[in-house]
Amino acid sequence: MTDFPLVVFDLDGTLVDTAPDLISALNWVLAREGLPPVPLASARKMIGQGARRLIERGLELEGREMSMADVTRLTTDFIDHYAAHIADASEPFDGLIAALDNLEASGYRFAVCTNKLEWLSQLLLDRLGLTPRFQAICGADTFGVSKPDPVILQQTVARAGGRMSAVVMVGDAGPDIGVARRAGIPVIGVEFGYTEVPIADLKPDLLIGHFRDLPDAIARLLPSAPQ
């Protein structure tokens, strides 16, 4: 166990703007079923609960009902296509790299806790050159539970070598706020992510609209951490 303060990030809609590639893959699957594409602007709000749920919601928009087996087939096809195009248009949100540099220089370390599959998360961060930044990258399949179950966050912190008394969560949607609350840690909400419920309505401890504000927000929530 080490003594650094740990910042745990959600991935989609928090660290990286993945919506263009996710929705492109969704629309590829829908087109094969003879369904029209989902507009990117509205589909951004559908992201964050895993690939299968994204497929289900895409089908729901068109009133198409499918068997569980068919949804499983589409989800497998979606993941295969998405993996091949995972970083075609996805980019870190503006200011992320500078914020990580600032925090790392002050002694903070980082982890990822996402409802994306671990191998897809690893692949995306590899392609973007971000993997070395994180002590741990954990997904919905890593521990067999998803956010907002607190076990995924607790185990992510453990894998990263952190301690729950010196952790802050950063996320964009309900599962992130929920997992932090259930694990008893502070949480920062980002206003630029993917959520149907406005992030302010979910009442994170602090809100930021740009990553330039992250170091100060973290310093407010982890006052015993290095400044």
Name which of 128, 99, 112, 131 is nearest 211 in CA terms.
Answer: 99
CA 91 to centroid of chain Cα atoms? 13
Locate tokens 């179950």: which residue? 149
CA 101 to centroid of chain Cα atoms? 20
Locate tokens 């671990």: which residue? 118
| Catalytic residue selected from 3, 10, 101, 176 | 10
Contact residues for 176 (Cβ-Cβ < 8 A; gap 6+): 10, 14, 147, 148, 169, 170, 187, 189
Q: Catalytic site residue 10?
A: yes
- Which residues are catalytically annotated? 10
